[in-house]
Amino acid sequence: MIQGPVDSSRVPRFAGPATFARLPRLDQVSTVDVAVVGVPFDSGVSYRPGARFGPAAVREASRLLRPYHPALDVSPFERAQVVDAGDIACNPMDIGEAIGTVQREAGELLDNGARLITVGGDHTIALPLLRAVAQRHGPVALLHFDAHLDTWDSYFGSAYTHGTPFRRAVEEGLLDTSALCHVGIRGPLYSRGDLAEDLALGFGIVTASDVLRKGLDEVIGGLRQRIGDRPLYVSVDIDVLDPAHAPGTGTPEAGGLTSRELLEILRGLAGTNLVSADVVEVAPAYDHAEITSIAASHVAYDLVSLLAMGTGS
């Protein structure tokens, strides 16, 4: 029997432990279909730190989520056993060790039958998550929502940072290079060569301006055509949103998507073969009235709903 969230008509939203959407913990259920797990790690950032506090902030903001999703016409917590799997505790002093910890513990959750929604943490964690997913599905399609490419070779001599995960993922054969796309890219780059190198890795780009000028239906149609029915991983850096919608992040860029646009694109992925996803770079120290955390909680909820729709439960 599926165990759902605490009934907010009986227990006030501001009472009790702040699990994601007030869902049961992993240790309170016997089986799991979808696990929401935090990775409070931000030692790979190149500018503003603070995303280590993202998972806690997103959980707190998620208290207001409700169990029926009208836009997708699904009650995800009735359709699938969704749980809060707690946090993967990483060594904040050693990026290499932290990457290994995330890969190992994410792999254990996947081995137990869960599909993962991971809340970061900085974007460094996408690499070990993709390693764990690819071990079970082979190379996966990737939709990467971000202001930035995150396919640079290194920062400060380090190959493992929040700006390098997808170059490493291509190099390691974790991604299906016929089905890769960035969404929401904008802002200055180091040189024109950044775009050429990104293209050589196999990525397509839908810029923030493309979303504005082409419209959501055309963008969604193009993304669906690109990924087809391949196993899909979705990675959402919350800075894909304009700072008006997500001020609490480490590397904000003007001219981004609205929260409405991002949610509509995600909903447009219904019926695709989504296998796992992440939401990263929420840094609550720079947030105002929990704007960013609220947006991230809704992004995670939409991703949970998409995964629940694919369980067949």
- DSSP H helical segments within the chain, as ranges? 54-61, 76-79, 95-111, 126-137, 165-171, 193-200, 208-214, 216-227, 259-267, 291-309
Strands 232-237 and 203-207: unpaired
- Structure-token match 């997500």, residue found: 246
Q: Which helix (H) or strand (E) holds 178?
A: strand 175-185
DSSP symbols for 95-109: HHHHHHHHHHHHHHH
229 in a known ligand binding site: no
Residue 33 among known ligand-binding residues: no
Beta bridge partners of 207: 185
Task: Work out the angle at residue 198's Cα, subtended by the Cα atoms of residues 246 and 46, and round it to the nearest 5 degrees.
Answer: 45
Query: 148 labelled as ligand-binding?
Result: yes
Q: Per the annotation, does 237 bind a ligand?
A: yes
Say whether 150 counts as a known binding-site residue.
yes
Report the helix count and the strand count for the chain, using DSSP H and E: 10, 8
Q: Is 198 annotated as a binding residue?
A: no
Listing from the earlier edge strand, what are the strands of the sheet with 175-185? Answer: 82-87, 34-39, 115-120, 274-280, 232-237, 140-145, 175-185, 203-207
Residue 41 near residue 52 (C-beta atoms within 8 A): yes
Annotated binding site: 123, 146, 148, 150, 237, 239
Annotated binding site for Mn(2+): 123, 146, 148, 150, 237, 239
